[in-house]
Amino acid sequence: MVNCGLLTNKNEPVPLKNIEVDLQVKGHVATVTSTLKYINEEDNPVEAVFVFPMPSEAALCQFSAKIADQEIVAEVQEKEEAREQYDDALSSGEQAFLLEESEESVDVFRLSVGSLPPRQSASVTFIYIIELSVQADHSLQFCLPAVLNPRYTPAGTGGGIVSEITGSTGIPYSLSFTAHISSPNPITKVESKCPLEPLMFLSTDHTEAKVSLSAGHMFDRDVELYLYYQNPHQLTAIVEAGAPAAQPGSLMGDPVVMVSFYPEFPESVMSSMSSCGEFVFVMDRSGSMSCSMYNGPDAQERIACARDTLLLLLKSLPMDCYFNIYGFGSRYNSFFPQSVQYSQDTMEQAVQKVKEMQADMGGTEILPALEHIYKQPCVLNHPRQLFIFTDGEVGNTKDVLHCVRSNADFHRCFSFGIGEGASSALITGLAENSSGHAQFITGTDRMQTKVMQSLRYALQPAVTDITEDWSGLSFNRLSPQIKSLFHGQRALIYAQLKGEECQNPDAKGKISVQYRLGDQEVTNTVDFSLKPAENNGMAIHRLGARSLIRSLERDEQGSKQAVKGPLVKRRIPTPMMFPACTLKSCGFPFGLGISGSRKKVASSPFSLPTKLKGLFGSSNKRKSSAQNSQVLRACPLINRQNDVNTSKTVVSVETPKDPLIQLISLQKASGCWEIESTLAEVFGKREKELIEQIPAQVKPDVWATLLALIWLHGFKIDAQVEWQFLAMKAVAWIRSQKVVNQSECVQAGNALLGCQVKEDALGL
């Protein structure tokens, strides 16, 4: 295991002094310009290596550095050639950088900085592009993380990526953050958990706006922006002009269109649920799961939160489905040899084992567990659905995703990244490679809420049979065909526009997307101008190119062999860190090398797919201008030493139960509750009181179940997304009991619990 970040040759941090971030949003995508400014306060030159993760959905498109009076600009080269030139540059006393994608994971980059002169300032500028994620309230989220987490690497795989990180405080710096937003639909508001300056609209139709982070933000937590547009489910299209210097007819020379497809799910579809499925829950039990969910006095341990979540899932499953639970670390185990049918007996067995789960299985090796699961026979007429929970610290991400992709025809994967800094390449890759859905649980997010959203996706109909009609337009599709979408998911369709009609400024385009949702056939249509939007960073072109390259990479088999003898002078730990979201593989699968004005140094971790050679046309090498520089920053890191290849005994301390969790734990598999002292405690009553108030001709378990439903609606309505499936099972069970005086029972229950819940609200 190796450390990450940057230190001097005396193992002292190079202080960061200033961070600038400029965010340019165009509809559903963003261009981020980040500048990190720091000073080498040593009396000697420093030669070091940065190792840093970045989100897999981002694409690095430009890198430059200014050290003293010399500016260094990145350009793409073959890997071996780049390494040779980097070595030559150092030997000649010239400044040089070498930036490479890690062999282990697409969201980890290594940056060999070379020699930094003593007492000299330096600034590093990254420009990357990213698709903004859609949230449950239909907003778009941009996140600049403040945490850089280590990745765990299984033994025997050639060394780790990152290891122990120690914290450091008191290093002064300043941070500025400004966002410019444009959208085809009007912008209604911009929100953040961090303080913002007032939103400024730059156009009368509110399609252009600007917002800045308030001064004084200490970057002790993620910077998150939530963007709200009018008519979020409306099909939209944005056309971006090609680069003037690029070859006409090439991808970068032609205009590219981005279509946002975010289908709406009517209530009639949302209310229909399947009772079939094989649900396999795969839980990370490595040492790092004993860390807190977030920094705060009331933060729960990740493993404790996972136990509560598994309890909720077990109680929410439909009768007659199949299920199993796996735990993994340096080894793996399962609750049952094979998935078992859901019943009161199997549920009780699983609940007891969940209560005993600890973060005591060593390192984070998910691959053997997945390989074992895929070898198990599927249950006839019960689609396999994997729910994978991990803090995402693995070093063999590519191998894991290849395994998932190879079995994509037999299952869907719902993945959950737990805690700050979970590997987005792993979490999103698990879902993307199996037509599933990914969620990240950070800060004070409740794991239960997000997991139950995914369970709803697994049980509800999805958008399928998706086809497109481009109304006679000549185009090359850049993104893969969409197979399916769940409720709350959005797809971005990229296409290179061709033909003479694109040269006419008055020309119009039209696209229709047809799909099936349940038993309904739906069509969404959008008309748009073929006059391209003003060229601003080529974000849509680059994301379209990345989408195309990823598709071709899956079709073509490269050598995928690591170059022997990598030039690494020293990889050293630092208490300072970059935001985990500042870069990514150019979307093009290249590394970037950086050199001085006379030497050109670059790296490509693997060759460009054969089909792409000559596709992008001529390149236009330019140095980044000062006004384009912006973002990165330093901030204290988390000390994480828990993932080790040895088991340890974890002593759990019993904490007071959340009344909601306590109520959930008492529900039977069929959906009912029984009168007992623990249930009475949840209601703040004595068991004797519950018994004395039972209405005439009502069975005790019916009375207990009605009281539980009333209590949930009366006291926990804000958490309804968490208990909605429990309530549905309870309602179905009560209906099967054919209660003759149901209205009277509801009134009596309200009186006992001090509520005013109406019978209709209970779903009865």
Arithmetic mean of pLDDT, 681-708:
94
pLDDT tens digit sequence for 174-206: 778 999 999 999 999 999 988 899 999 999 999
Decide which of 745 and 90 is more confident.
745
> How many CA atoms lie less than 13 Å away from 303 in the CB half-sphere?
24
The CATH H-level (homologous superfamily) assignment of domain 273-459 is: von Willebrand factor, type A domain (3.40.50.410)
Lowest mean pLDDT among 8-22, 367-381, 660-674, 729-743: 8-22
How many other β-carbons are positioned within 10 Å of the β-carbon of residue 525? 12
Rounded to whole angstroms, the Cα distance separating 193 from 178 reads: 15
Q: Are strands 223-229 and 236-240 parallel, antiparallel or unpaired?
A: unpaired
pLDDT tens digit sequence for 620-647: 433 333 333 222 222 223 333 344 443 3
The SS3 assignment for 564 reads: coil
pLDDT at 456: 86
Q: Are strands 121-131 and 133-134 parallel, antiparallel or unpaired?
A: unpaired
At residue 53 the predicted structure's pLDDT band, cuts being 50, 70 and 90, is low
CA 357 to chain centre: 25
How many other β-carbons are positioned within 10 Å of the β-carbon of residue 560? 10
Q: Where in the chain are the domains? A: 16-230+567-610+624-628, 256-265+463-555, 273-459, 659-762
Strands, E assignment, 485-578? 491-498, 508-517, 520-529
At residue 727 the predicted structure's pLDDT band, cuts being 50, 70 and 90, is very high
Strands, E assignment, 54-199? 58-67, 70-75, 96-101, 108-116, 121-131, 133-134, 140-144, 174-182, 187-191
Phi, psi of 228 (to 5 degrees): -115, 125
Rounded to whole angstroms, the Cα distance separating 249 from 423 reads: 37
Cβ contact 501:472 at 8 Å: no
How many other β-carbons are positioned within 10 Å of the β-carbon of residue 198? 8
The SS3 assignment for 435 reads: coil
**Average pLDDT over the chain, rounded to whole?**
77
Cβ contact 662:310 at 8 Å: no
Rounded to whole angstroms, the Cα distance separating 117 from 38 reads: 12
**Nearest CA-CA partner of 493 in 512, 521, 520:** 512
Rounded to whole angstroms, the Cα distance separating 312 from 523 reads: 37
Task: Provide the β-strand partners of residue 385.
Answer: 279, 412
Arithmetic mean of pLDDT, 408-435:
85
Rounded to whole angstroms, the Cα distance separating 139 from 721 reads: 18
pLDDT at 181: 95
Cβ contact 110:50 at 8 Å: yes
CA 576 to chain centre: 23
pLDDT at 119: 81
pLDDT at 164: 28
CA 148 to chain centre: 15
- Most distant CA atoms of the chain, gap in Å: 95
The CATH H-level (homologous superfamily) assignment of domain 16-230+567-610+624-628 is: tricorn interacting facor f3 domain (2.60.40.1730)
Residues 6+ apart with CB under 8 A from 691: 675, 700
At residue 11 the predicted structure's pLDDT band, cuts being 50, 70 and 90, is low
Q: Judge whether residue 543 has pLDDT over 60.
A: yes
| Helices (H), ranges, 15-106 | 79-91
Place of tokens 């000299």: 120
Which of 60-74, 159-173, 731-745 has the highest average model confidence (pLDDT)?
731-745
Arithmetic mean of pLDDT, 525-539:
80
Cα end-to-end distance, the chain, whole Å? 58
Radius of gyration of the chain (CA): 28
pLDDT at 337: 96
Rounded to whole angstroms, the Cα distance separating 168 from 409 reads: 47
Cβ contact 613:152 at 8 Å: no
pLDDT tens digit sequence for 237-294: 999 988 888 888 899 989 999 999 999 988 877 777 777 899 999 999 998 899 888 8
DSSP type of residue 658:
P
| Helices (H), ranges, 517-587 | 539-555
Q: Judge whether residue 517 has pLDDT over 70.
A: yes
Element counts in the chain: helices (H) and strands (E) = 15, 30
State the angle between helix axes of 659-666 and 700-715 in degrees (0 to 180), rounded to the nearest 10. 150
Arithmetic mean of pLDDT, 103-116:
61
pLDDT tens digit sequence for 459-500: 888 888 899 999 888 999 999 888 788 888 899 999 999 877
> How many CA atoms lie less than 13 Å away from 2 in the CB half-sphere?
17
pLDDT at 35: 84
